[in-house]
Amino acid sequence: MDDRTHTADAEPGERVTVAGWVHEVRDLGGIAFLILRDRTGKIQVKFATDEMDDELVDAGTNASRESVLSVTGTVEEEPRAPTGVEVVPESVELLAPAEPELPLDPSGKVDADLSTRLDNRTLDVRAGESKAIFEIRAEILRAVREYFRSVGCTEINTPKIVATGTEGGTELFPLTYFGQEAFMNQSPQLFKQLMVGSGLERVFEVGPIFRAEEHNTPRHLNEATMIDFESAFIDHNEAMDVCEGTLLAAYEAVAENCQEQLEVLGYGDSFAVPDAGFPRLTYEEAIERINATGELEEQLLWGDDLPTEGEKALGADVGGHYFITDWPSEIKPFYIQDRDDDPQLSKGFDLMHPEMELVSGGQREHRYDALVEGFEQQGLDPEAFEYYTKMFKYGMPPHAGWAYGVERLVMTMLGLGNIREAVLFPRDRQRLSP
């Protein structure tokens, strides 16, 4: 396989070896076509069945769909071939046969249910929409990393096994760590903050988080991927600028570099990069606008968290990405700083897509006394977080940050109906394997 050529690279006149999966065999009698597929595309292999060696013809035309073949031959220009070229084979080697009955059809002629696809993810990602989704997901992460580097961030990795219980909110997965109680981490939050106090100042992380909530919706996972950002010497408004920049960078990169994949997903030229300058609504304005839509049976009151229905009503009203700022302090975690002019309000924000929340962030409390007080107010024991709080005694700069759910970003960007489409091997309430 040393001299393997990718199908997209095959030039007329060359002698090549292409290797890939049997996408389809079309046997017309005296002539037969084998469509071979690799990660770069498809190429046609022609068998003149009466003229070629029987063994060669059999090797090509009797291969079952999705078998792995290596074909050596000459590339010829052929206007009648799908890609304008075809391979006239000299030899065909069966590298790995596929059983004739497949658990799903990778060519996409017959749909398969999501659960069938997830049970057979390898086959599902062989071709078509799923492959396009994960290629785009990779491009998003590439563009996001590049954007972070361009604004001076250092990529970090924080522990996923942690000792302290919840920092608030969610249920955690417990585990035993050499006889000690431990948990799968719900978020890099506290660790990334500790690193803005280091000489790194500006950090980001792309990594998994684990939440043990028994939710059962098309937009929640128990293992998700977060893009976390945290920076010293910025406030929540600047954090929102970076947040918007990251999102735009991701959309632009996909628009520019993933035309083929967008085509497969049915976008063609209709893929739109959002306009810069996302509206920034205060929580109070958000509530008023939701109430004004009349979509909710009961009016929201100040202090309520936004119900799913309210988020959707507001999303439809705004019609694009937007921020919600100035959340009530009491529904934001302890590490979010309160507004100086009104301690009832926090410097926390959310970035919303019309369908759902994408990002949560804010300016952090960097003052030791206020931080410890915040723990107590939320009923948490500051002692348990001493590894965190004590570093606020040694020069913790003002800082702000946020975190994206990667799967939600992919899902909303591509209009996917279920978040599981955006993860290779989703972990949800029911699914632990594969």
Partner RNA sequence: GCCCGGGUGGUGUAGUGGCCCAUCAUACGACCCUGUCACGGUCGUGACGCGGGUUCAAAUCCCGCCUCGGGCGCCA
Which residues carry out catalysis? 211, 213, 219-220, 357, 360, 408
Q: Which of residues 368-397 bind RNA (CB under 7 A)?
A: none
Q: Which of 360, 375, 385, 407 binds RNA (CB under 7 A)?
A: 360
| CA pair distance 48, 73, nearest whole angstrom | 13
| CA pair distance 389, 194, nearest whole angstrom | 9
- Closest separation between CB of residue 347 and RNA, Å? 12
What count of other Cβ atoms lies within 10 Å of the Cβ of residue 269? 9
| CA pair distance 241, 160, nearest whole angstrom | 28
Tell me if 329 contacts RNA by CB under 7 A: no
- Closest separation between CB of residue 226 and RNA, Å? 8
> Nearer Cβ to RNA, position 43 or 144?
43
Cβ atoms of 204 and 413 within 8 Å: the answer is no
> Nearer Cβ to RNA, position 37 or 202?
37
> Nearer Cβ to RNA, position 140 or 313?
313
| Signed CA dihedral, 292, 297, 301, 303: sign only | negative
> Nearer Cβ to RNA, position 191 or 254?
191
Binding mask 403-422 for RNA (x = CB under 7 A): x-------------xx-x--
| CA pair distance 123, 126, nearest whole angstrom | 5
Strand-pairing partners, residue 34, are 25, 45
> Nearer Cβ to RNA, position 238 or 309?
309
Q: Which of 207, 218, 245, 354 binds RNA (CB under 7 A)?
A: 218
Q: Which of 11, 238, 241, 305 binds RNA (CB under 7 A)?
A: 305
As a dihedral over the C-alpha atoms of residue 333, residue 335, residue 336, residue 338, rounded to 10 degrees, the angle is: 100
Strand-pairing partners, residue 24, are 35
- Closest separation between CB of residue 229 and RNA, Å? 13
> Nearer Cβ to RNA, position 187 or 231?
187
The stretch near RNA (CB under 7 A) out of 13-21, 95-103, 143-151, 315-323 is: 95-103
Q: Which of 192, 202, 211, 366 binds RNA (CB under 7 A)?
A: 211
Tell me if 276 contacts RNA by CB under 7 A: no
Binding mask 155-194 for RNA (x = CB under 7 A): -------------xxx---------------xx-------
> Nearer Cβ to RNA, position 119 or 235?
119
| CA pair distance 135, 264, nearest whole angstrom | 12
What count of other Cβ atoms lies within 10 Å of the Cβ of residue 154? 15
Q: Which of 31, 175, 292, 316 binds RNA (CB under 7 A)?
A: 31
Cβ atoms of 422 and 401 within 8 Å: the answer is no
Cβ atoms of 376 and 334 within 8 Å: the answer is no
Binding mask 108-147 for RNA (x = CB under 7 A): -xxxxxxxx-------------------------------
Please give the structure tokens belonging to residue 87.
């391979």
Surface-to-core class of residue 362, CB atoms within 10 Å of its CB (0-12 exposed, 13-18 middle, 19+ buried):
buried
Number of residues binding to RNA, judged by CB under 7 A: 67
Residues contacting residue 321 through CB under 8 Å, at least 6 positions apart: 244, 247, 274, 278, 351, 352, 353, 354, 358
| CA pair distance 405, 187, nearest whole angstrom | 11
> Nearer Cβ to RNA, position 256 or 309?
309
- Closest separation between CB of residue 178 and RNA, Å? 27
| CA pair distance 431, 115, nearest whole angstrom | 10
At residue 166's C-alpha, the angle toward residues 158 and 388, to 5°, is 55
- Closest separation between CB of residue 1 and RNA, Å? 25
| CA pair distance 47, 29, nearest whole angstrom | 10
Tell me if 86 contacts RNA by CB under 7 A: yes
Binding mask 43-82 for RNA (x = CB under 7 A): -x-x-x-xx------------xx------------x-xxx
Residue 429 phi/psi, 5-degree rounding, is: -50, -35
| CA pair distance 426, 420, nearest whole angstrom | 6
Judged by the rule CB under 7 A, the positions of this chain that interact with RNA are 24, 26-31, 33, 35, 44, 46, 48, 50-51, 64-65, 78, 80-82, 86, 100-105, 109-116, 168-170, 186-187, 211, 213-218, 220, 305-309, 312, 327, 331-332, 348, 350, 357, 360, 403, 417-418, 420, 430-431
